[in-house]
Structure 1
Amino acid sequence: MNRFAELLDRLVLTPSRNGKLTLLCDYFRQAGDPDRGLALAAITGDLSIAAVKPAMLRALVMERMDPVLFGYSYDYVGDLAETISLVWPEPAEAPRTDAVPTLGDVVARLHAASRSDGPRVIADLLDRLDVSARFAVIKLVTGGLRIGVSARLAKQALADFGKVDVAEIEELWHGLEPPYAALFAWLEGRAPKPEKGARALFRPVMLSNPVGDGDLDRLEPADYAAEWKWDGIRVQVSAEAGLRRLYSRSGDDISGAFPDLVEAMDFDGVIDGELLVGRPPEWTGTFSDLQQRLNRKTVAPKMRAKYPVFVRCYDLLQSSGRDLRPLGFAERRSELERFVAALDPERFDLSPLVPFDDWGHLDRLRKGPPHPVVEGVMIKERRSPYLAGRPKGPWFKWKRDPYTVDAVLMYAQRGHGKRSSYYSDYTFGVWAGPEETPELVPVGKAYFGFTDEELRRIDKYVRDNTIERFGPVRSVRADRQSGLVLEVAFEGLNRSQRHRSGVAMRFPRIARLRWDKPPSEADRIETLQALLD
């Protein structure tokens, strides 16, 4: 357990991607089975502990200390696992170092525990461990490691460890289960590659690069095709031998949230496309409409009827067992057109190509798309095979220029992890109401877009200008004469009944700090409302 705890500590404190990869590879090399496989499952989000929940942990710690003191501690630290690991009372007798359980021992005990037995088991474990190992156990059971390692990065570390292509790992992944003993045996050269026995597996997606300065000058327009970039979520639709799966771009199985789409997957193939709400071709809903369907364990008939989903098809990766990825985009496109023509038109439609004469022509089309749910154009080399990852050159995304608005900082909340001592999550608003007596209404929240030095300046401003406190949240001075103006960039705007302002921003981030601008000159709600009309 101590080795896993040390790994988490070092990953949190290592900012560089290559540094994290090195730490993971070293751990895979030094830790034995099943510990390394269980650690991998925890990092990728594939390890579930049913017997312990966050509310149970809170109850346990408040049985051992004053609840008010715990509340103050949690407010200061900002992370539940770190707070509990620090304030948990030390046992009367120090635990013996030779009695520290392994990660495999801990997981086995937790998996064997029932809900009623869970509090006793987790309390016994926390009594036997030091601060770092307690932190690791709590992170393990709550499932939110927050160590700056994505599932994709963990798979890349596996590929580096075994000196194989990460695409091989991703294609095998959904047919494997923790603690991945067969996978590690193959990567160490002790056993053959695990067979892809499972059906309807995830295929690693091909990603694009944003258009940079001068990128298009070196390219011949006739060699590329263009299509609209729709503002939904990228998905992979996989149906094989009667098994049907819907995957997110990162390979998460999201089939359960979209039973209406899965019912229509009456084919044998793998489609790459965009999940949207609507009834093609008459209506395509906004991302806000799509959010009504995301992350739901069950979907009521009323929800299915009000927010029907469909896939706008971009590419065809497999058809009737035939792998089409080595073909060029133009050939796959022809296959896709024939394939989609035989599918349910209410659930699958073809993403149209965008004819253009030159890059200037395409730029004008990009800036004036035909539909508000279009966020730009995709540019794809006609001869390009479907390659996993983000190869430079074959595919580009040319997004619509972001919108900007000047807003006033209203609330600030403590961050998490290495930002837990800073106020780094900001809620901002614009003016509404009569010109003589306007009031600020919140329109969004952002927590990135600024440098470390700017974060320190904003944090000091928040502390110096706090007028109210609500746990980890502070309300700051914000009126016509006093306040911090933030230039906020965002990708789009949706109507929202959940927000008092009536609008919700897509991907807001801090573009610039306007220390020079008085809050009275910030934008009004009418500026945002005009974007909706």
Structure 2
Amino acid sequence: MHAFAALLDSLIYTRGRNAKLKLVADYLRVTPDPDRGWAMAALTEDLDLPGVKPALIRALIEERVDPVLFRMSRDYVGDTAETVALLWPAPTVPVDPAPLSVADAVDRLRHLSRADAPAELARLLDRLDAEERFALLKMATGSLRIGVSARLAKQALADAFGLDVERVEELWHGLSPPYAALFEWIEGRAPEPTVDDVPVFRPFMLAHGLEDARVDLGEYAAEWKWDGIRVQIVHVAGQTRLYSRTGDDVTGSFPDVAAAFSTPGVVDGELMVKGEFQGGALDEGGGAASFNALQQRLGRKVVSAKMLADYPAFVRLYDILVDGTEDVRALPWTERRVRLEAFVPRLDPDRFDLSRVIEAEDFTALEAIRAGARDAAIEGVMLKRRDSPYVGGRKAGLWYKWKREPLTADCVMMYAQRGNGRRSSYYSDYTFGCWTEEGELTPVGKAYQGITDEELRQLDRYVRGHTLARFGPVREVEKTLVLEIAFDSIHLSGRHKSGVAMRFPRILRIRTDKPAEEADRLETLKRLVT
């Protein structure tokens, strides 16, 4: 556990991507099995310890230290695992002095019931130092927050042993932690594991931002960039799986889509919810509700019959990777498109349709078409080189995403809260509002993205110097600072007091030049609803 704790500590204080890759790769080279396999499971969020939940950890620490002290410390530190690791008292009885490995900890925790988990977790914490306790709690709750994505961890594994990361990615979802067969293969102790007849994940092809460039529509095809979640649907040997862009299995959240896909192959598309006006089969190019409707189903492990009926999901297909049993990723986009157009009619028309190609004479005409698109489900335009193969990751010059210009509004900061990770010492999460017809401010959104480090420090100073009241970790501030907020779209919402919900709000700039009374009104935002 000590080596894994040291790795997490180093990763937290390391900013550069290449430096993080080296740290993880070095750890994997020298750490024995199965510790490194369980460490990879933790880094990729594939480790499930169902008996250990945040509420259990809070209950354990509040049995040992003053609850008020814990909550005040948690508010200041900004992270529960770190707070508990530092506050955990020394054991009052002798403990096992033997070092605890990652595998030991996982073996002790992963098969425990919720009734047995508290006593065992407490025994483990008693045996560890503060750094190791932090690592164990982070690993157990599955929220590392150390700036390492699942993709980066797999890239580090590939770097450590001279592998192709795309091959690692494909094998990954056919294997289970602690990945013994994978490590035996990469060290030459066993043949490469096979995933025949298993619905495995293939890395998505991604796009670069278009920025200010222009392309020749003779070389590039244009499609709408739909505002849902990108999914890959795999059907093989009678099994269907849906994978998100990060490779997470989301089949359980969308059983209606999985049940409707029984044609052998692998396709790539945008998962969305049908619009309220949509009845039977999908129409050509429309029929999608806003992302706000899709959010009602995201992250649900159990989907009720009412949820399935109220928010019926469908997939608008972009590409085909495997046609039957034939891998067609090496074919140019034009040939894959022909394959896809022949494939889609074999699917349930109530659950699947085809993302249409935008017909435009030239790039100038496409600009005009894009500028006029304010459909709630349209996020922008995709430009795909007609001769491009389907390759994992972002490859320069092949695919571009050209998002529509964001909407903006001038809002007043109302509340602030500390962030997490390296932002835990700053008030970096801000609630902002607009004026009602009655002349009162009402919250319309929260944002923490879009600001530089210097702007973060500026806003933190403002919060500390203009606090009016405290509500636990939340600070109410003087309603004098205007923030210009950018957002992709805005939708009506019965869950919010304001009646609206912004899609991806971020701070565009700090408007110290603008009086708070001149910020936007709620009715102005409602006129932007699509």
Category of TM-score, reference length = shorter chain: over 0.9
Q: Do 1:229 and 1:375's aligned partners in 2 also have CA atoms closer than 8 Å?
A: yes
Structure-2 separation of matches of 1:303 and 1:101: 45
Structure-1 separation of matches of 2:290 and 2:243: 21
Structure-2 separation of matches of 1:226 and 1:501: 37
The equivalent residue for 1:456 is 457
- Computed over aligned residues only, the root mean square deviation of the Cα atoms, in angstroms, reads 1.5
Q: Do 2:64 and 2:89's aligned partners in 1 also have CA atoms closer than 8 Å?
A: yes
Structure 1 letter corresponding to 2:302: T
The residue correspondences of 1:161-172 to structure 2 (distance < 5 A) are 161-172=160-171
The equivalent residue for 1:246 is 242
Aligned partner (choices 504, 509, 527) of residue 507 of structure 1: 504
Partner of 1:292: helix, strand, or coil?
A: coil
Structure 2 residue 472 is matched with structure 1 residue 471 = yes
Structure-2 separation of matches of 1:329 and 1:70: 57
Structure 2 residue 71 is matched with structure 1 residue 67 = no
Tell me the matched-pair count: 522
Cα deviation, 1:107-133, whole Å, max 9, x if unaligned, reads 111134333221111111111111000
Cα deviation, 1:158-217, whole Å, max 9, x if unaligned, reads 11112122110111111111111221222223332211235221111100111023x32x
The residue correspondences of 1:380-529 to structure 2 (distance < 5 A) are 380-434=384-438, 438-478=439-479, 483-529=480-526
Q: Do 1:225 and 1:379's aligned partners in 2 also have CA atoms closer than 8 Å?
A: yes
Structure-1 separation of matches of 2:336 and 2:196: 26
Q: Do 2:224 and 2:356's aligned partners in 1 also have CA atoms closer than 8 Å?
A: yes
Partner of 2:528: helix, strand, or coil?
A: helix
Partner of 2:527: helix, strand, or coil?
A: helix
Greater alpha carbon shift after TM alignment, 386-395 vs 271-280: 271-280
Q: Do 2:489 and 2:529's aligned partners in 1 also have CA atoms closer than 8 Å?
A: no
Cα deviation, 1:47-101, whole Å, max 9, x if unaligned, reads 11122222121111111111111111111111110010111112358978x6221
The equivalent residue for 2:2 is 2
Structure 2 letter corresponding to 1:46: D
Q: Do 2:319 and 2:337's aligned partners in 1 also have CA atoms closer than 8 Å?
A: yes
Question: Percent of pairs identical after alignment?
Answer: 57
Cα deviation, 1:372-400, whole Å, max 9, x if unaligned, reads 31111110111110011000101011110
Structure-2 separation of matches of 1:3 and 1:331: 50
The equivalent residue for 1:109 is 108
Structure 1 letter corresponding to 2:320: L
Q: Do 1:375 and 1:400's aligned partners in 2 also have CA atoms closer than 8 Å?
A: yes
The equivalent residue for 1:224 is 220
The equivalent residue for 1:174 is 173
The equivalent residue for 2:233 is 237
Structure 2 letter corresponding to 1:341: P
Greater alpha carbon shift after TM alignment, 67-76 vs 377-386: 67-76
The equivalent residue for 2:334 is 330
Q: CA deviation at 1:145?
A: 0.8
The equivalent residue for 1:58 is 58
Structure-2 separation of matches of 1:51 and 1:260: 29
Partner of 1:441: helix, strand, or coil?
A: strand
The equivalent residue for 1:134 is 133
Partner of 1:99: helix, strand, or coil?
A: coil
Q: What TM-score, normalized to structure 1?
A: 0.95
Q: Do 1:175 and 1:198's aligned partners in 2 also have CA atoms closer than 8 Å?
A: no
Q: Do 2:216 and 2:363's aligned partners in 1 also have CA atoms closer than 8 Å?
A: no
Say if 1:385 and 1:524 are closer, same or farther in 2 by CA, change over 3 A.
same
Q: Do 2:416 and 2:476's aligned partners in 1 also have CA atoms closer than 8 Å?
A: yes
Greater alpha carbon shift after TM alignment, 267-276 vs 298-307: 298-307
User: Structure 2: any 5+ residue segments left out of the alignment?
Assistant: none
Greater alpha carbon shift after TM alignment, 459-468 vs 293-302: 293-302
Aligned partner (choices 257, 261, 286) of residue 261 of structure 1: 257
Partner of 2:22: helix, strand, or coil?
A: helix
Partner of 1:283: helix, strand, or coil?
A: coil
Structure 1 letter corresponding to 2:118: P
Q: CA deviation at 1:221?
A: 2.1
Aligned partner (choices 378, 381, 384) of residue 382 of structure 2: 378
Structure-1 separation of matches of 2:205 and 2:197: 22
Structure-2 separation of matches of 1:162 and 1:355: 47
Structure 2 letter corresponding to 1:353: V
Structure-2 separation of matches of 1:37 and 1:191: 16
Cα deviation, 1:268-302, whole Å, max 9, x if unaligned, reads 11110000111421631110111111111222222
The equivalent residue for 2:529 is 532
Structure 2 letter corresponding to 1:333: R
Structure-2 separation of matches of 1:297 and 1:240: 23
